Every structure is written in structure tokens, then in C-alpha cells.
Structure 1
Amino acid sequence: MKKTDKLHPGEKFSPLTFKQYEGDTFTFGEPGQWQALFVYRGQHCPICKSYLKEIDENVHELREIGISVAAVSADTQEQTRITADAVNPSFPLLYGLDEATMKALGLYISEPRSPSETDHRFPEPGLIIVNAEGVLHLIDISNAPFIRPDIKRLVNGLKFILENDYPIRGAVI
């Protein structure tokens, strides 16, 4: 049986810098603010586009409670442009997630089913949330495109965490 690396809640997160579709860079995981990083499969995935739209419909609620949002894929800048045109998100779309980083984040990685799907390996969905101290607070990793957190439930859960100083769960290694 192969072993996978996992992120562990309660541990300090080593910040990662990604390229933004618009040309700037974006650093995820630096202390100072709660941040949510949604990992999506790529422009070839219609479920991803739908989910990115759901995130965008609720991003204002996340911002109101002090959580910044970004989404990342292994796509190229041009593939990310296709997603940006389809979704028109009000949060940063990041690209160029490499396999070493996918593995370090504990993401499941898939091969394209055919060259018409995409031209590279890609991550399956994930969500990583770091708190203002730069510590991993919530982690959700999936191995299929249709298993993702319900956005409304996530927003309500984050509100509860912040309002009640709810502790990090699942930190026993």
C-alpha cells in the first residue's frame, strides 16, 4: 500500500506563492489574515466551473468575516484565462500548481483520460484554510470532482469558529 503525505491541522503552514491569472503573484499562508485556498481540477472540468461560481456567490460573506479567498489549479495561464472568462470570479484565480506542491499538500493527482481532456496531470479538489497565525485550521481533500464542501455550510461553520473561538479539530497525529 502506498502512503500519502497529509497536511496536519494545528501545524504551521509554510507559505506558498502562486502566479495570478492577471499577472501578479499571490502568497497563501502568511500570518496576518485567515485565508482559504480552493484547489480545482482545471478548465476542462465543468463541475469546477460550477463550484467556482458557487464560491463567488458567497465570497462576500467570507470577506465579511475576514477570510480571503483564492483558487488554484495546475493549468497554464491560457487555460486559466478560459476558466476566468467562463466564471468571472471576484477572487484571484491562480495557476501553475506543480506536482511537487500537489504532493506536499497531500492532494490526489489524476492523469488525463485523453489528450482532449487536458495536457497535464491535475489535482483533484481540495480546500486548505489557514488562520491568522498561519496555522492550518481546516483541510478537505477529495479524490473525485463531485466531492466538495457545501459552501453555505462552510461559511456558517467558519462564522461559528470565529465567533466561538472553536478549536482546531483532528490535530492528533
Structure 2
Amino acid sequence: MYTQKLHPATQFPDITVKSSSDEVVALADKQEGCDWKMVVVFRGKHCPICTKYLNKLEEFKGRLRELNVDLVAVSGDSKAQLEAHLKDLSISFPIAYGLTQQDMETLGLYISTPRSEKETDHNFAEPALFVLNENNEIHIAEIANAPFVRPDLEQLVSGLEFIRNPDNNYPIRGTYKA
């Protein structure tokens, strides 16, 4: 198998991509005022489910910001594919392109080959979502092998509200070592 999953409480890898405005973006870097980061990996322009999910995610941007959680979405699409996709998106959070196959493997993502040239012209990552804490440790990871499996955004953001409340002292889960 080509993937090796990233584990909770480990450092998120240093991966850089390009923003829609062609700036180099380190996925783990946080905007000023945010100490946590949500990295959403989407399949690309060819996926209508991704388009719907990203547009829905826009509705939660304010609540994430109140929690000091920065947000970025990224795919393996080219700049031209991202520019074409932006016409179908109603988002104001940063979106990036250029996730390489090596990056996808480093992140432990499931990778698919296109079914035809109509779908896309490159291998692409299946959906994933990572939430990084103030130390860039993976606090939450969701890695799927199909476009139909994604976290419910209301439940996810409500969970982050619970986690971020210091009174709850909620640890990183899934860290058992035999």
C-alpha cells in the first residue's frame, strides 16, 4: 500500500501549495489571530460534491474564526482548473491548488486515477480534513476514500466549540499505543 496514515498528536508535515492569487502557502501556517488551523482537502473542480461541501463550509467560517481556527481548502488541481472552479464557488476563505502526488502520499491520503479525461487530467486526492492545534499537531483527522464520506460540518464545528472550551479539558483522541 502506498499510504501511511498520519497519527493524532503528531506534527502536520510542511507542505506548500499556491493560493488562488499565486502566493506560496504553507498549509499549517495560520492567519494572524488564529492559533488552530483546519485544512480541507478536496478532490478538485471535477467533483460536484466537493463544490457543494466547500460552499456549505463558507457558512461555518465565522464560527471557526470565533474559535480562532483558520481555514484553507486545497486540491491537486492546476491553476487553470482552480480558476474555472471558482466560478462555481461562493467562498471567501483561502483556497489553494497544486497539491502534488508526493504531498498526497505524505499526508496519507487515498489517491484516485481519473475514470476518463472528462473527469480530470491527473491523479487526485480523495477528501480529507485535518484540524491542527496551536503546536501544529493533528488534533482531528478524517481521511476518506470516496467523495460521499465527509464530516458533517455542524457536528464538526460544534465539536470544535466543545474542544476549544478550556473548561472541558478535551485531549487529542486516538493516541493509544500498545
Q: Is the 8 A contact 1:84 1:93 kept in 2?
A: no
Deviations 1:113-143 (A, max 9, x none): 0011100000000001110111111000000
Counterparts of residues 13-92 of structure 1 (less than 5 Å): 13-30=12-29, 33-92=35-94
Deviations 1:75-134 (A, max 9, x none): 001101122121131111110000111011110000100011100000000001110111
Aligned length: 172
Separation in structure 1 between the aligned mates of residue 176 and residue 84 of structure 2, nearest angstrom: 41
Moved more, 148-157 or 84-93: 84-93
1:168 aligns with 2:177: no
1:5 aligns with 2:4: yes
Decide which of 93, 96, 108 is 1:94's aligned counterpart: 96
Separation in structure 1 between the aligned mates of residue 24 and residue 51 of structure 2, nearest angstrom: 22
- CA 1:17 to 1:80, structure 2 compared with 1: closer, same or farther past 3 Å? same
Q: Which runs of 4+ in 1 moved over 6 A?
A: none
Separation in structure 1 between the aligned mates of residue 14 and residue 132 of structure 2, nearest angstrom: 10
Q: Secondary structure at the match of 2:60?
A: helix
Separation in structure 2 between the aligned mates of residue 106 and residue 172 of structure 1, nearest angstrom: 19
- Tell me the amino acid that sits aligned with residue 4 of structure 2: D
Identity of aligned residues (%): 43
Separation in structure 2 between the aligned mates of residue 94 and residue 150 of structure 1, nearest angstrom: 22
1:130 aligns with 2:129: no
Q: Is the 8 A contact 1:77 1:95 kept in 2?
A: yes
Could you state the TM-score of these two structures normalised by the residue count of structure 2?
Answer: 0.92
Partner of 1:116: 118
- Tell me the amino acid that sits aligned with residue 96 of structure 1: G
Alignment gaps of 5+ in structure 1: none
- Tell me the amino acid that sits aligned with residue 168 of structure 1: I
Moved more, 82-91 or 102-111: 82-91
Q: Is the 8 A contact 1:43 1:75 kept in 2?
A: yes
Displacement after TM superposition at 1:33 (Å): 1.6
